[in-house]
Structure 1
C-alpha cells in the first residue's frame, strides 16, 4: 500500500501514527510546502516573543520520520490531483502515485483587500515564516498595527509588545474576540491588555495602509479618519480552509472538504483531516470546520487508521480556545455564545471584575454544552468532560457545576463501568 499525505502539519503526524499502528510495511510519503518539519503553529507567537528558540517549534524529534519509515519532501508544492490515475502532480511536473491519499492542506490567511496592502512591511501571522519575517526586522521596529482582534491577532500583538514594540490592534467588531468569547469575558481580557499598555481600537476598520511616494510604509488610516503610525502591519483576521486542490479534483467541498465519519472524501481513495476538513462536531451535532490543533491530530489519526483498513468512526470535533493574555488565563469550549432569543438554553454566570474572574456555563436540556472561564480555569478539564461525553446533568449536579465545584464523582456509574470493563 502506498500512502501519500499532502501537508506536513499536526494532522499529518496523526495520520502517520494512525497508519503505522495498523500497517508497518506500506510506504508513506509526506509532501510539505514549507521547508521545515511539522511544528506547533500555536508556538509561533512564543517564538516571536522570544520565549522559545526555533528548535522548540518542532513537535517531533528529528528521527521521527526515519523511525516511522516516512519519505519527507519539504519545499514541495502539489498543484493537481489526477484522480483517474491516482497521482498527485507537483509544481515541477513530478507525478507521485498513491493508493490512499490524505489532504491535510490546512488553511490560508484571510486577507481583505485594503488599499496599500501590497508592498514591504505587511505580514500575515499563520506560519513560522511570518514570525521569522517579523523577527528579522525587530531591531528597527518601533511601532506596529495589528489588523484583527481575534485570537491570532491578539497573540501576535502581545508577542510584538513583549519585544518592546508599540502596538495598536484594530478590530472591526465592537469588541475584541467576537467569535470565541462573550462580551463579559472579552471585557476582562480587554482590561488586562490595556492595563499592560497596548492600544485597542474596536468598532473601526482599516481603510488604507498608507505609503509615501517611494512605497515605504507610514501607517494605517482608519475609516473614522484617524491615523495610526506604523513601521509594520500584521493582518491577522483568520484563516479559510485551503480547498482548492480538492475542488479542482472534483471532490465535494463546502466551507471545507466534506468528509464522512471515517474522514473519507467523496472519492473512496482520498481522505481529509485538520483545518481543511468539514467534519462531525460533538457539541453542535453537525459537520463543520473547527480549526483547533488537538482536533487536527485526532482527525489525522482516524484518517490514518481508516486509510490502513482499520475502519473506525471519528468521535467528533469540539470547538475550544485555551489561551492567556498578558498572564490572564482563559478558555472557551463548545457552545459558549448561544442565541440570545432562544428558550432552549439555561445560562449560569459568575462575574467578579476586581478578581478578574468569570465563569459562564451553558446548559441545553440535560447537558452542559459550553462554558467560558477567565482567571480561574482550574476545573476546565472537568467541565470539558461533561461536554465531551455528554453526561446527563440533574438538578443537584447542575447546581454544583454552576457554583464552580465539579467533581469526578458526578460522572455516571455506567461511564466507569465501561472504562473498567471494555468490550
Structure 2
C-alpha cells in the first residue's frame, strides 16, 4: 500500500502515526509546501518574540519521520490532483502516484484587495515559520520601530505581542466593533483591549485599511475613516481560509472546505481529508463548519490515518475552542459564545479583570468564556461535549469553587473512572 500525505501539520503527522500503528510496512510519502517539517505553527509568534528557540519549535522531526519509514518531500507544492489516475502533479511537474491519499493542506491567509498593496516591501502575512523569518529579517534590516497589524483575531493579537516584545510600537486595525469578535463578547474583549493599551498598543476598531502608500517600500496606511498611519511594516492577519483552490477541477466535493464523512473520506474513493481544510459537523448545532483548531486537526488526522490503513473508526464532530494568553491574561473560549435570541440563557460574572460567561440552551451548556480564571475549563468543556443537563446545578456554574462535586453522581463516577474522555485535551 502506498499512502501519500499532503501537508505536514498536526492532521498529516497524526495520520502518519495512526497508519503505522496498523500498517508497519506500507510505503508513506509526505509532501509539504514548506521547508520546515513537523513544527508547531502556534509557536511562530513566540519564536519572533524570542520566547522559544528554534529547537523548541519541533514536535516531530524529520529524523523521527524517517524512523517511521516516511519519505519526506519538503518545499514541494501540489498543483493538481487527478483521482481517476491516482496521481498528484507538483510544481516541478513531477507526478506522484498513490493508493490512498490524505489532503491535510490546512488553510492560507486571506488578503483583501487594498489599493497599493501589491509590489511593496514591508507587507507580510504571518502563519508559517518562513513568514516569521521574513518578518524578523525585515525588522532587523530596516530598523522597524512602528508596525500596523490588520486584524484583531488570534493571529493578529499574538503577532502584535511578538512585535511588542521586540520593542516595536503596534497599532491594531480591526473592522469589527471589538477585537476577538468571533469568540469574545464585548466585556471579554474590553478586558484584553485595556490590557494591550496599558502595554502601549493602539487599538482601532470599526475601521479598516483602504490604501497603502510608498514607492518600493510601505511608508504609511490610509484607513477608511481617513486617518493615515506612518509605518514601515504591515502584517495582514484578517483570517485563514481552507487551502482548496487547486482542487477545483479534481471532482472532490468542496463547499467552504473539503466535505468529508465521519471516516474522513471525501466523495472520491481512496481520497481522505483532515484538519483546517475540511468541513464537518459542529457537535453543538449539527451544522457543517470548518473548525480550524489544533485539537480538531489531531483528532481528524488520527481517524483518517486509521481508516486509510484498514481500520474502521469515526470522528464524532468538533466544537470551536481557543486557549490563549494575551497581554499576560489567560483566556479560554469554548463552544458557541456569541449568541442572540430568547432560546439562550446567559450567565456571567465579572470582577476586575476576571470574567466568566456561560451560555445555556435547552438546559445544556453550549458555550463558555473564561478570562483570568481558567482552572475549570476542562470540566466546562466536558459538560458541553457530553451535552449534560445542567438544570440541577445551573446556579453553581459561576461559583469560584465549581467542580465535580456539583455534577450528577453517575457522571462524576464516569469521569473519575476515565470513561468520559475530553478529546480536546
| Interval containing the TM-score (normalised by the shorter chain) | over 0.9
Q: 1:358 to 1:241 in 2, by over 3 A?
A: same
> Per-residue deviation at 1:281?
1.7
Query: Which position in structure 1 is the counterpart of 2:423?
Result: none
The separation in 2 between residues aligned to 1:414 and 1:372, in whole angstroms, is 23
Query: Which position in structure 1 is the counterpart of 2:297?
Result: 296
SS across alignment from 1:63: helix
Segments of 5+ residues of structure 1 without an aligned counterpart are: none
> Per-residue deviation at 1:414?
5.7
The separation in 2 between residues aligned to 1:319 and 1:158, in whole angstroms, is 23
Q: Assess if the C-alpha contact under 8 Å between 1:209 and 1:220 holds in 2.
A: yes
Query: Which position in structure 1 is the counterpart of 2:391?
Result: 394
> Per-residue deviation at 1:420?
4.8
The separation in 2 between residues aligned to 1:6 and 1:402, in whole angstroms, is 44
> Which whole-Å deviations, capped at 9, do the CAs of 1:18-41 have from their partners, x for residues lacking one?
211211111111100011112111
With normalisation by structure 1, the TM-score equals 0.95
Query: Which position in structure 1 is the counterpart of 2:401?
Result: 405
Q: Assess if the C-alpha contact under 8 Å between 2:321 and 2:335 holds in 1.
A: yes
The separation in 2 between residues aligned to 1:270 and 1:298, in whole angstroms, is 18
Q: Assess if the C-alpha contact under 8 Å between 2:38 and 2:59 holds in 1.
A: yes
> Per-residue deviation at 1:66?
1.6
Q: Is 2:81 the partner of 1:72?
A: no
Query: Which position in structure 2 is the counterpart of 1:345?
Result: 344
Query: Which position in structure 1 is the counterpart of 2:312?
Result: 311
Q: Is 2:376 the partner of 1:374?
A: no
Q: Assess if the C-alpha contact under 8 Å between 1:243 and 1:257 holds in 2.
A: yes
Query: Which position in structure 2 is the counterpart of 1:201?
Result: 204
Q: Is 2:231 the partner of 1:235?
A: no
> Per-residue deviation at 1:334?
0.1
Q: Bigger CA drift: 57-66 or 199-208?
A: 57-66
Segments of 5+ residues of structure 2 without an aligned counterpart are: 420-425
The separation in 1 between residues aligned to 2:269 and 2:413, in whole angstroms, is 37
> Per-residue deviation at 1:93?
1.8
With normalisation by structure 2, the TM-score equals 0.94
- How does 1:44-123 map onto structure 2 within 5 Å? 44-118=44-118, 119-123=120-124
> Which whole-Å deviations, capped at 9, do the CAs of 1:349-397 have from their partners, x for residues lacking one?
0012xx20100001111211110011111111111111122222132x2
> Per-residue deviation at 1:144?
0.5
The separation in 2 between residues aligned to 1:412 and 1:171, in whole angstroms, is 46
SS across alignment from 1:377: coil
Q: Assess if the C-alpha contact under 8 Å between 1:173 and 1:203 holds in 2.
A: yes
Query: Which position in structure 1 is the counterpart of 2:8?
Result: 8
SS across alignment from 2:219: strand
Q: Assess if the C-alpha contact under 8 Å between 1:391 and 1:412 holds in 2.
A: no
> Per-residue deviation at 1:411?
5.0
Q: 1:421 to 1:177 in 2, by over 3 A?
A: closer
> Per-residue deviation at 1:399?
1.6
SS across alignment from 1:215: coil
Q: Bigger CA drift: 214-223 or 410-419?
A: 410-419
State the number of aligned residues. 415
Q: Assess if the C-alpha contact under 8 Å between 2:404 and 2:412 holds in 1.
A: no
